[in-house]
């Protein structure tokens, strides 16, 4: 709706400004505005109201066509979106490592296809990267909107032709979506946040408001109270909702209900006229869409380039740049394209979206172009991509063990009769990565699951909700079964993440009694070790690698203006941190004298310091998962000690 339209409402642009400022404040300083992300929900209601009103008015006047509607959407959405995506690809070329650039390319491809919400939902989980490292993260909301507008005009037009009452139908569909939102918020929070089925009700709430505004009398004397209550609901959402709040769920009614009340109150209501219609807010609302698009990539790239902790003055500079770029995008690009009512720019915009999608796919398929200068700084530019291959089952358990797949199980093999069994959690996957990448030749089977210890005779009963590790006991029993039933296996490597084995309670029980972490460690592993010893197989406990204090990518200089921390730390500090853990490992070995123990610390801490890189190669993918290069180092070192047998070790 242009500012010159007779039905234009400046107060709605003021509300847009509140929404975008809330989101920006949350992204710039989360602790200062913990509930700022609800600004997106306000946007959904505004969008549902304005677009549904436009459709209903067009249907009333018998001038609505699908072709015109989608042309308007393309002219509205595509211009600045294309510029922001191109800007991000260019800046990413100079700033991002290979895996990061590949991820950015995947996100841009998903955004160009208006499927970024689904892409982010599929990525969420154990290995998901921090939000700050995803410059296209914010485009999930644009994807939800466009998915809604693929089906909503068609549905409205169909109901209109049949002379159906649109309000009850909209309310019924909205209630179904809200029900899905409540269910998913409880059972799958990530799906509830990103998927359209749990978000469409917010746009339908705005659509209900549009129907009421067009066909029902205005609120009259209650308008002032209504707008005030709406403002209080939004303020409450901004102040009391935070990242720990189950969201969307019931809590989403605060910002969405508040937005609907304010919109329905009308332009003459007190809050709308006296606060939301003031010049600066209206001006900001008019550029809210490009401002939303620009602010997050700038902040995200700043945090990536600075290592995550940029000074406040740099954050302020980014926000000022976003404001300037939003104004330029609006005045020099968007208005000129929207002014061409004949739609002549639409084919060009669609072609550019398709080209952007194709280029992004090419970058992603080529693993983020690891030959780039910045990619080479990390040593092994594609380590995370190889590691990702060790996190996808290939059906080996069904083929070798005649067992059905388990949820979250990672089962991989490169041979029909594997000799080596690598078992454990994500650290086992990391050790297997060089085998997966064919850098280390050995016939092996990987059996693992995220966040799972191998305790086959203990009951896994976590006291908290988590998205992985739900079948830990079953996975451990599957390892036990492989040891028992596969005669080709002669060596088993037990590889797990054990950050601390203090006296805190573990998520495991024995005879209905919750065990401490050390007790679970000693009792839990014993059945596997005993099983291997009975079968005459060699079993090796692989001591966990040293952990870095931060992600290794943060220690590499990307921008000359920011000093980067060192990832190195002293061997003495590492040994001090591992004292308790190593004492329990010695206890385990004392209880099972035939158990072999391998400690890779000497590879990572060759002198008095523990390193993040060795001879130009990355040793880590993140703070505690090793790279395929380090995986190869460990396996070759284990061969020299007679612990594994490689068929043709890497030179």
pLDDT band of residue 40 (cuts 50, 70, 90) is very high
Task: Look at residue 43 and tell me if it is in a domain.
Answer: yes
Q: Are residues 279 and 327 in the same domain?
A: yes
Looking at the predicted structure, is the pLDDT value of residue 500 above 50?
Answer: yes
Q: Are residues 431 and 369 in the same domain?
A: no
Looking at the predicted structure, is the pLDDT value of residue 161 above 90?
Answer: no
Nearest to 474 by CA among 492, 455, 487, 489: 455
Residue 438 has a pLDDT of 58
- Read off the pLDDT of residues 606-627 as tens digits, 9 standing for 90 and up: 989 999 888 878 898 888 899 8
Q: Are residues 388 and 347 in the same domain?
A: no
Looking at the predicted structure, is the pLDDT value of residue 400 above 80?
Answer: no
Task: Look at residue 569 and tell me if it is in a domain.
Answer: no
Q: Are residues 368 and 395 in the same domain?
A: no
Task: Look at residue 2 and tell me if it is in a domain.
Answer: no
Q: Are residues 353 and 246 in the same domain?
A: yes
Least confident of 184-188, 367-371, 595-599: 367-371
Nearest to 406 by CA among 415, 416, 396: 396
Alpha helices in 29-65 (DSSP H): 39-60
Greatest mean pLDDT range, 203-207, 508-512, 543-547, 643-647: 203-207
- Read off the pLDDT of residues 80-93 as tens digits, 9 standing for 90 and up: 999 999 999 999 99
- Read off the pLDDT of residues 42-99 as tens digits, 9 standing for 90 and up: 999 999 999 999 999 999 998 999 999 999 999 999 999 999 999 999 999 999 988 8
Q: Which residue has the higher pLDDT, 5 or 168?
A: 168
Contact 158, 55 (CB under 8 A): no
Q: Are residues 367 and 468 in the same domain?
A: no
Looking at the predicted structure, is the pLDDT value of residue 436 above 90?
Answer: no
Q: What integer best gives the mean pLDDT of the chain?
A: 88
Continuous segment of H or E residues that includes residue 82: helix 66-95
Last residue of some domain: 377, 396, 415?
377
CA pair distance 381, 375, nearest whole angstrom: 5
Contact 478, 409 (CB under 8 A): yes
Looking at the predicted structure, is the pLDDT value of residue 230 above 90?
Answer: yes
Last residue of some domain: 324, 356, 377?
377
Q: Are residues 332 and 406 in the same domain?
A: no
Q: Are residues 419 and 318 in the same domain?
A: no
Residue 200 has a pLDDT of 98
Residue 651 has a pLDDT of 41
Residue 644 has a pLDDT of 92
pLDDT band of residue 462 (cuts 50, 70, 90) is low
Looking at the predicted structure, is the pLDDT value of residue 467 above 50?
Answer: no
- Read off the pLDDT of residues 268-306 as tens digits, 9 standing for 90 and up: 999 999 999 999 999 999 999 999 999 999 999 999 988
CA pair distance 533, 90, nearest whole angstrom: 57
Task: Look at residue 606 and tell me if it is in a domain.
Answer: no
Residue 549 has a pLDDT of 85
Where do we find the tokens 């006229």? 273
Last residue of some domain: 337, 362, 377?
377
CA pair distance 203, 217, nearest whole angstrom: 22
Task: Look at residue 60 and tell me if it is in a domain.
Answer: yes
Task: Look at residue 300 and tell me if it is in a domain.
Answer: yes
Residue 229 has a pLDDT of 98
Where do we find the tokens 């990565």? 433
> Prior bond to 248 cis, omega within 30?
yes
Task: Look at residue 591 and tell me if it is in a domain.
Answer: yes
pLDDT band of residue 650 (cuts 50, 70, 90) is very low
Half-sphere exposure of residue 472: CA atoms within 13 angstroms, side-chain side = 27
Least confident of 41-55, 419-433, 559-573, 584-598: 559-573
Nearest to 631 by CA among 545, 539, 540, 541: 545
pLDDT band of residue 213 (cuts 50, 70, 90) is very high
Q: Which residue has the higher pLDDT, 127 or 16?
A: 16
Task: Look at residue 498 and tell me if it is in a domain.
Answer: yes
Alpha helices in 329-420 (DSSP H): 335-339, 346-365, 373-377, 383-389, 396-400
Residue 383 has a pLDDT of 43
Residue 443 has a pLDDT of 87
Residue 291 has a pLDDT of 98
Residue 631 has a pLDDT of 92
Q: How many domains does the chain have?
A: 2
Residue 406 has a pLDDT of 74
Q: Are residues 511 and 589 in the same domain?
A: yes
Q: Is the pTM of the predicted complex or chain greater than 0.85?
A: no
Instruction: List the domain range (segments joined by +) for residue 203.
Output: 10-377
Nearest to 544 by CA among 584, 490, 487: 584
Q: Are residues 369 and 400 in the same domain?
A: no
3-state secondary structure of 72: helix
CA pair distance 369, 516, nearest whole angstrom: 47
Q: Are residues 296 and 265 in the same domain?
A: yes
Distance of CA 369 to the CA centre of its chain: 22
Q: Are residues 208 and 237 in the same domain?
A: yes
């Amino acid at each position: 709706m242009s500012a010159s339209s007779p039905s234009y409402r400046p107060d709605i642009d003021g509300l847009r400004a509140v929404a975008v400022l809330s989101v920006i404040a949350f992204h710039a300083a989360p602790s200062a505005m913990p509930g700022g992300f609800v600004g997106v929900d306000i946007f959904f209601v505004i969008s549902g109201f304005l677009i549904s009103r436009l459709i209903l008015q067009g249907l009333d006047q018998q001038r609505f066509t699908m072709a015109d509607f989608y042309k308007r959407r393309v002219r509205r959405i595509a211009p600045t979106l294309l510029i922001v995506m191109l800007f991000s690809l260019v800046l990413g070329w100079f700033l991002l490592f290979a895996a990061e650039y590949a991820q950015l390319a995947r996100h841009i491809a998903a955004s160009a296809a208006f499927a970024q919400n689904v892409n982010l939902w599929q990525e969420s989980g154990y290995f998901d990267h921090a939000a700050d490292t995803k410059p296209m993260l914010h485009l999930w909301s644009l994807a939800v909107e466009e998915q809604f507008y693929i089906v909503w005009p068609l549905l409205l037009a169909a109901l209109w032709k049949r002379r159906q009452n649109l309000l009850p139908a909209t309310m019924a569909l909205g209630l179904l979506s809200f029900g899905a939102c409540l269910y998913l918020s409880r059972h799958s929070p990530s799906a509830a946040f990103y998927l359209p089925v749990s978000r469409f009700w917010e746009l339908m709430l705005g659509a209900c408001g549009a129907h009421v505004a067009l066909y029902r009398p205005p609120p009259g004397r209650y308008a002032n109270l209504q707008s005030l209550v709406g403002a209080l609901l939004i303020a409450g959402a901004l102040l009391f909702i935070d990242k720990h709040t189950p969201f969307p769920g019931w809590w989403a009614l605060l910002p969405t209900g508040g937005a609907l009340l304010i919109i329905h109150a009308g332009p003459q209501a007190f809050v709308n006229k006296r606060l939301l219609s003031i010049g600066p807010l209206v001006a900001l609302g008019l550029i809210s869409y490009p401002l939303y698009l620009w602010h997050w990539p700038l902040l995200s790239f700043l945090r990536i380039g600075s290592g995550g902790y940029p000074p406040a003055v740099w954050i302020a500079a980014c926000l000022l740049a976003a404001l300037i770029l939003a104004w330029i995008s609006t005045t020099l690009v968007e208005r000129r394209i929207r002014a061409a009512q004949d739609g002549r720019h639409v084919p060009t915009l669609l072609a550019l979206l398709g080209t952007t999608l194709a280029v992004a796919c090419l970058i992603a398929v080529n693993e983020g172009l690891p030959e780039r200068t910045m990619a080479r700084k990390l040593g092994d530019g594609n380590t995370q991509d190889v590691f990702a291959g060790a996190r996808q089952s290939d059906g080996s358990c069904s083929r070798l063990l005649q067992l059905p797949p388990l949820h979250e199980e990672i089962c991989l093999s490169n041979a029909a009769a594997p000799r080596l069994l690598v078992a454990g959690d994500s650290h086992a996957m990391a050790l297997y990565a060089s085998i997966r990448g064919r850098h280390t030749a050995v016939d092996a089977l990987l059996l693992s699951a995220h966040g799972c210890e191998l305790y086959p005779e203990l009951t896994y009963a976590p006291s908290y909700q988590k998205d992985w590790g739900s079948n830990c006991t079953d996975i451990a029993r599957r390892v036990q079964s492989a040891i028992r039933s596969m005669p080709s296996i002669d060596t088993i490597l037990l590889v797990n993440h054990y950050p601390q084995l203090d006296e805190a309670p573990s998520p495991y029980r024995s005879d209905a009694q919750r065990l401490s972490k050390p007790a679970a460690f000693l009792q839990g592993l014993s059945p596997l070790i005993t099983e291997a010893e009975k079968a005459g197989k060699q079993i090796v406990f692989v001591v966990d690698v040293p952990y870095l204090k931060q992600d290794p990518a943060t220690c590499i200089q990307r921008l000359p203006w920011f000093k980067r921390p060192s990832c190195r730390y002293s061997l003495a500090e590492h040994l001090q941190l591992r004292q308790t853990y190593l004492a329990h490992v010695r206890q385990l070995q004392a209880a099972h004298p035939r158990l072999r123990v391998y400690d890779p610390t000497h590879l990572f801490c060759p002198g008095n310091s523990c390193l993040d890189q060795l001879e130009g190669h990355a040793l880590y993918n993140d703070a505690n998962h090793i790279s395929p290069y380090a995986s190869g180092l460990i396996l070759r070192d284990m061969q020299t000690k007679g612990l594994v047998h490689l068929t043709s070790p890497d030179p």
